[in-house]
Amino acid sequence: MKYTVSGLLVVSALIGATLWNSSNANKLQIPYENVASVTAGKVVYDTNCGSCHGAKLEGQTNWQIRTAEGYLPAPPHDETGHTWHHPDQMLFEFTKYGPQHLAGADYKSIMPAYEGTLSDQEIWQVLAYIKAQWPESIRKKHTEAFSN
Ligand code: HEC
């Protein structure tokens, strides 16, 4: 029943299924321990992501509830959100190609694809900034979950 309540869970499930076979699915690639990457990533985040995902990664209010138009508000990227449940490559592809790449062409979302706007390096940098903001315990969980 959950998927009728929160479309985000559907997306997450779809993404999980889509990338399960990807050879990079369980590789740690986000350079969150690299200070230069994190610093550059903050600029990328503030310029491109903060307007929706929040200046402090807090997301938009009621982010689990679709609007009357059928769109989900932007979810948080901090520890209260779902981002840290996903492997590096999945987060990268979601950002680069947009939700439709993973959830299907007719999936309704306000999240743009950043291919053409950001380089691959900038996408890894912004993910580094995001991961670097998580509490140590969450960073550790994320690293351990996807390091095999
Ligand atoms: C116009 C608003 C908007 C902007 C700007 C935006 N996003 Fe999003 N983002 C969303 C929404 C809404 C979702 C939820 C997807 C959906 O519509 O179901 C999302 C989801 C995500 C997810 C998946 C999170 C999860 O829990 O699975 C990632 C990763 C992400 N965004 C990264 C970024 C990054 C990185 C940037 C900046 C480069 C960015 N987004 C810019 C609106 C936005």
Query: Is the pLDDT confidence value at 20 over 70?
Result: no
Which residue is associated with the tokens 């938009």? Answer: 60
Q: Of 54 and 24, which is predicted with more confidence? A: 54
pLDDT tens-digit map of 66-100: 999 999 999 999 999 999 999 999 999 999 999 99
Nearest Cα to Cα of residue 7 among 128, 143, 106: 106
Q: What is the Cα–Cα distance from 61 to 43, expressed in whole angstroms?
A: 24
Whole-angstrom CA distances from 62 to 10, 25, 136 are 17, 30, 26
Supply the CATH classification number for the domain 2-145. 1.10.760.10
Whole-angstrom CA distances from 119 to 12, 30, 45, 87 are 24, 14, 13, 20
pLDDT tens-digit map of 113-144: 999 999 999 999 999 999 999 999 999 999 99
State residue 2's pLDDT score: 38
Band (pLDDT 50/70/90 cuts) for residue 11 is: low
Say what the pTM is. 0.89
Band (pLDDT 50/70/90 cuts) for residue 13 is: low
Percent share of the chain, pLDDT over 90: 78
Q: Whose CA is nearest to atom 30 of ligand 1?
A: 95
Q: Which atom of ligand 1 is nearest to the CA of 86?
A: 27
Q: Which atom of ligand 1 is nearest to the CA of 60?
A: 12
Q: Whose CA is nearest to atom 29 of ligand 1?
A: 91
Among 6, 37, 52, which is best to mutate for testing ligand 1, by the most ligand atoms less than 8 A from CB?
52
Band (pLDDT 50/70/90 cuts) for residue 59 is: very high
* Exposure of 94 in the CB half-sphere (CA atoms within 13 A): 26
Mean pLDDT (the chain) is 88
